[in-house]
Structure 1
Amino acid sequence: MRCFVTGASGFIGANLVHELVVRGHQVKGLLRPESDTHGLQGADFERVNGDVSERVKLIAMMRGCDWCFHMAASYHLWLRDYAPMYAANVKGTSNVIEAAVDAGCSRIVYTSTVGCIGLPRITRSRGRESADERIVPSDEATPVSEAQMINHYKLSKWKAEVVARELAAKGAPVVIVNPSAPVGPRDVKPTPTGRIIVDFLDRKMPAYLDTGLNWVHVRDVAIGQILAAQKGCIGERYILGNAEGNWTMQQTFAVLEEISGVPAPKMRIPYSVAMTAAHVSEAIARLTGRPPKAPLAGVRMAKHKMWFSPGKAIRELGLPQTPPKQALMDAVEWFRANGYTREAEGLDR
């Protein structure tokens, strides 16, 4: 197949390009002139310069392509002005999907986020001495509303997903995928999840918040996108996660300690303390113009354990399930091999 990929230089995008090339597909990747293409090294694909605001140019670029994978997005938890992020994420999604339809693409895979899925449900069963609390992972059918989009990034992606669903209802061949917390190689920037690992390896995490994520290997996400193009139902969405990947941060750091030899933090930060620190951090950011070290949006998201069930993608798409520990191992290996950590053998930082 001839494939058009937006956001080709991003973490998921670069892994998708490599996966498509390995499988024999012809790939055209949309890049901006300033894009860091380190993650694309070794991939044989056609590079085209542009961005998602240029709808007419997009049509010409996509002409002759069978599949379109739209991943280009602006991801920020703090900005002085959020208008450009909404333009890129919402209007950009509309531009890409409409251009792909006009260009004759037979399948359009829009990459959203699990942030647009409803929050996990908490159930409590009361025994003789205590009440047991259990978190039920969310799936695609979990109720959700715009009110749950607690920061501008999530709200912009929510609005973009609404656009994708509306265009699918009008006949656009759109399939939506919602990756959870991908980790693995080629996290060039790195992403917020990758930053957790780098900071852990550099011993910059003396404490942790009691939150949780669904870890998934980025390669599984890339393969899931391809499977969505091949098998996904138009207008449907699929969580690209791992059925065994719902871990607390305490569990995550314990596994990272086992993998890396770096001691895991033992102290848990109360949510109220984290919120206070975030307010102070944002107040300083407003004065200096520099992004806060602890944005409020990030702390608010950490209030809930972001646990999800990828059962639908496993059943309907055949989504692979690389063990989460292996995903973390591959991420640690890649960050170390590519000079992202300040570790020195034999030195205790």
Structure 2
Amino acid sequence: MKIYVTGASGFIGSALVRELVAAGHSVTGLARSDRGAAAVEAAGAAVHRGDIHDPAGVAAGVGDADGVVHLAFDHDDMSQIHANGQLDLEVVRALGDELAGSDRALVVTSGSAIVSSAAGVATEHTPVDPTSIDGAARGPSEELTLALAERGVRSSLVRLSPSVHGTGDTHGFVPTLVRVAREKGVAAYVGDGENVWPAVHRLDAAHLFALAVEAAPAGTRLHGVAEQGVRTRDIAAAIGERLGIPTTSLDPADAAAHFGWLAGFASVDNPTSSVLTREWLGWTPSGPALLQDVAGGVYG
């Protein structure tokens, strides 16, 4: 296949590009900088220069690709997540318009926190709740992606765990927790810390995107979840032990002052299943668990 990847030089995208090239696919990666372009070329892919702030320019990279994986998202200022989500919607719309009527694949990135208000364990059939922490930001892109199946696009989406972990994770939730812990001198969790985050290793996430662009049926929601839920109290304890600092509980009223933009996510209870994803695509995550990576020094 000819596959176009946005976010090709990123944390997951760089692993995905290497996997796709190794599998014999012809890959073109979006790059917004000379450094990103060099990384994409080093992985064996061609480069399309562009930036998600120019959705039409991003869509121009589709060309005759058989499939598109859209991983790029503006993470530069997560306090602006709703504006970033609106930008993502415009990129998905541009890609969808480019692919409409072609039966070619489009795989879009979402997040499991989009269903964090679901009762019990969320599944691939759990719809977006626009009142959830991530629903207002990424929900519109998810709904548009699924609707593209009615326009002749083999569209699917991957809801990633809040923690996609592994070597090179510098901007995600866990490294943010680590940075805050270093600054504050304590590794904190909110309340009793019984709320959970799903988790998946970076290489397992990349493999799921590869499977999706190759074979996911149109209109499919997939869950990038290897661990259904890791207690935030256990994450904090692992960080505290690794850094040699105390672990403590925070009153929910103090979470914003302590965690900044991550405060809302720090309180989320998001148990999420990937049983159907594994069944549909034969995905079998095998990477290290989140707490193994923390204890093993991946985050310093």
The TM-score bracket by the shorter chain reads 0.7 to 0.9
1:58 and 1:301 mapped to 2: Cα distance?
30
Secondary structure of the structure 1 residue equivalent to 2:79: coil
> In 1, are the aligned partners of 2:2 and 2:25 still within 8 Å (CA)?
yes
1:24, distance to aligned residue in structure 2 (A): 2.4
Which one of the candidate residues 215, 232, 246 is aligned to 2:199?
Answer: 215
Q: Tell me what 1:321 maps to.
A: 285
Q: Which has the larger radius of gyration?
A: 1
Deviation, 1:57, is 4.3
Q: 1:117 aligns with which of 115, 135, 142?
A: 115
Letter of the 2:270 counterpart: M
Aligned match of 2:249: 268
Aligned length, in residue pairs: 295
- Aligned position for 1:250: 233
The residue matched to 1:146 in structure 2 has which SS?
coil
Q: Any residues of structure 2 matched to 1:1-349 within 5 Å, and which?
A: 1-33=1-33, 42-52=42-52, 54=54, 57-58=57-58, 60-75=60-75, 76-79=77-80, 83=83, 85-101=84-100, 104=102, 106-121=104-119, 136-142=120-126, 144-148=128-132, 150=133, 154-180=135-161, 181-187=163-169, 189-197=170-178, 204-209=185-190, 210=193, 211-242=195-226, 244-255=227-238, 261-263=242-244, 265-275=246-256, 277=257, 294-295=260-261, 298-322=262-286, 324-325=288-289, 328-329=292-293, 333-335=297-299, 341=300
Structure 2 gap segments, 5+ residues each: none
1-structure distance, mates of 2:184, 2:115? 32
For the Cα contact (< 8 Å) 2:240–2:247, is it kept in 1?
no
Cα pair 2:67 2:105 within 8 Å, conserved: yes
Change in CA separation of 1:23 and 1:256 when aligned onto 2, cut-off 3 Å: farther
Distance in 1, matches of 2:278 and 2:143, equals 24
Residues 54-87 of structure 1, C-alpha deviations (whole Å, 9 max, x = no match) = 55544542222111101122234324x964x244
Mapped partners of 2:22, 2:185: distance in 1: 37
Structure 1 residues 334, 49: closer, same or farther in 2, change over 3 A?
A: farther
* 3-state SS, counterpart of residue 5 of structure 1: strand
Change (3 A) 1:228 1:48: same
The Cα offsets for residues 160-188 of structure 1, whole Å up to 9 and x where unpaired, read as 1111122222222101111112101233x
Q: 2:10 corresponds to which letter in structure 1?
A: G
Where do 4+ consecutive residues of structure 1 move more than 3 Å? Answer: 34-42, 52-60, 197-206, 253-258, 261-265, 330-335
Identify the residue that residue 288 of structure 1 maps to in structure 2.
none
Normalized against structure 1, the TM-score is what? 0.73
Structure 1 residues 38 and 221, CA, compared in 2 at 3 Å: closer, same or farther?
farther
Counterparts of 2:206 and 2:65, CA distance in 1:
18
TM-score, normalization by structure 2:
0.83
C-alpha separation between the residues in 2 aligned to 1:331 and 1:8?
29
Q: CA separation in 2, counterparts of 1:34 and 1:198?
A: 28
Change (3 A) 1:177 1:98: same
Amino acid of the structure 2 residue aligned with 1:9: S
Q: State the distance in 1 between where 2:291 and 2:97 align.
A: 35
- d(CA) in 1 for partners of 2:294, 2:8: 21
> Structure 1 105/47 Cα, relative in aligned 2: closer, same or farther at 3 Å?
farther
Percent identity at matched positions? 23
The answer to whether the Cα contact below 8 Å between 2:30 and 2:58 also exists between their aligned partners in 1 is: no
